[in-house]
């Protein structure tokens, strides 16, 4: 897998992966807690593809079922909190998991349920992708649920991965430049997560900078904007890549750097499907080997 160099940080993934597997004596497991995407480009489906691409066994707890394609989200059905809790408990009680990520959670009751279930399952690194609005502009989380997320879920997180609209919703400030990204990261960090990864893809201009904030300091991960319409599932794949790296034993900051490298390739290899926003391809490494 080699090394990734971003903004001066070197991540030797092959060494980290080998050490993690030798220590555990089994294949690392990552758990995704999110909704489905019938079009296969986002949510649980994209997460499991990303876990597989990292050599991690993927487990899931489905929170919602969506009728979705490249054009938009046409319907959403939320599962009962008791069933979501049962899924998490079933995985934790038998297979176990080395890291977890949360995506679309749908309601305040489900956010509370997931937080409680994760506490019951025991401490593992958690990535929170605060999915509030779909790529197509559909609202996916209520204001009430956002309040519960701030209070109950973010304090459990090793990493939280907001894009700019999500950072605005979490902090209540406008986030439209680098200075505002720093201020948003400070405010989100005060809510409890160890690392805040603010994604700058919504900024205007030719670049797509991301900010990794931890211990009161930030590191910019620089990259040019990749042209094209194939960006569906970007946030899901980034957070799943971070989760997979955490399951493999990587430090959270290095996991963010590695995920930045991974998503750049996934966007470049985007799949030409449908007539709307096409999906990124978490299987880009397979294509590069063929």
Stretch (H or E) spanning 86 = helix 81-94
Which pLDDT does position 261 carry in this prediction?
96
Return the active site residues. 199, 231, 233-236
Residues forming beta bridges with residue 101, ordered by sequence position:
32, 127
Confidence at residue 140, expressed as pLDDT on a 0 to 100 scale: 75
Mean pLDDT computed over 64-82: 95
Query: 96 is in which domain, residue-wise?
Result: 3-289
Please tell me the predicted confidence (pLDDT) of residue 137: 67
pLDDT of 22 strictly over 70: no
Three-class DSSP category at 186: helix
- Confirm if 271 and 42 have CB atoms less than 8 A apart: no
Q: Given pLDDT bands bounded at 50, 70 and 90, which one contains residue 25?
A: confident
Reduced to 3 DSSP states, what percent helix, strand and coil does the chain have, rounded to the nearest 5?
Answer: 40, 20, 35
Three-state secondary structure call for residue 146: helix
Question: Residue 93 has what pLDDT?
Answer: 97
- Cβ within 8 Å of residue 32, ≥6 positions away: 44, 47, 48, 51, 58, 59, 60, 61, 100, 101, 103, 240, 243
CATH number at residue 166: 3.40.1190.20
- Give the phi and the psi of residue 165 in degrees, each rounded to 5: -60, -35
Segment 191-219 mean pLDDT? 94
Nearest to 219 by CA among 248, 178, 173: 178
pLDDT band at 8 (very low <50, low <70, confident <90, very high): very low
The average pLDDT across 200-211 equals 88
Find the distance separating the first CA and the last CA of the chain, reported in whole Å.
15
pLDDT for 125-170, tens place per residue?
Answer: 999 999 987 666 667 788 899 999 999 999 999 999 999 999 999 9
Looking at the structure of the chain, the number of domains it has is: 1
pLDDT for 136 = 63
Tokens for 17? 């992966």
Is it the case that residue 16 has pLDDT exceeding 70? no
Sequence-distant (≥ 6) Cβ neighbours of residue 80 within 8 angstroms: none
pLDDT at 202 over 90: no
Question: What's residue 149's pLDDT?
Answer: 97
Phi, psi (degrees; rounded to nearest 5) at 11:
-120, 110
């Amino acid at each position: 897998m080699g090394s990734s160099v971003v903004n001066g940080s070197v991540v030797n993934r092959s060494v980290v992966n080998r050490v993690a597997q030798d220590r555990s004596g089994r294949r690392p497991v990552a758990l995704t807690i999110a909704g489905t995407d019938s079009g296969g480009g986002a949510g649980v489906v994209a997460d499991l593809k990303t876990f597989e691409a990292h050599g991690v066994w993927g487990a899931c707890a489905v929170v919602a079922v969506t009728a979705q394609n490249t054009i938009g989200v046409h319907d959403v059905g939320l599962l009962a909190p008791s069933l979501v809790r049962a899924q998490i408990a079933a995985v934790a009680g038998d297979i176990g998991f080395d890291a977890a990520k949360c995506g679309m959670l749908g309601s305040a009751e489900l956010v509370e349920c997931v937080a409680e279930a994760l506490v019951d399952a025991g401490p593992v690194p958690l990535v929170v992708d605060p999915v509030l609005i779909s790529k197509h502009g559909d609202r996916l989380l209520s204001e009430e649920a956002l309040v519960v997320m701030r209070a109950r879920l973010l304090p459990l997180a090793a990493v939280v991965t907001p894009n700019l609209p999500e950072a605005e919703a979490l902090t209540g400030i406008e986030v439209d430049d680098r200075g505002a990204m720093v201020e948003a990261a400070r405010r989100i960090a005060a809510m409890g997560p160890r690392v805040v990864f603010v994604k700058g893809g919504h900024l205007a201009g030719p670049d797509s900078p991301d900010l990794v904030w931890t211990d009161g300091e930030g590191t910019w991960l620089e990259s040019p904007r990749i042209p094209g319409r194939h960006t569906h599932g970007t946030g899901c794949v980034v957070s799943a890549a971070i989760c997979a790296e955490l399951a493999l034993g990587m430090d959270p900051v290095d996991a963010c750097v590695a995920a930045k490298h991974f998503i750049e390739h996934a966007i470049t290899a985007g799949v030409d499907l449908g007539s709307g926003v096409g999906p990124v391809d978490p299987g880009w490494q397979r294509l590069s080997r063929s």
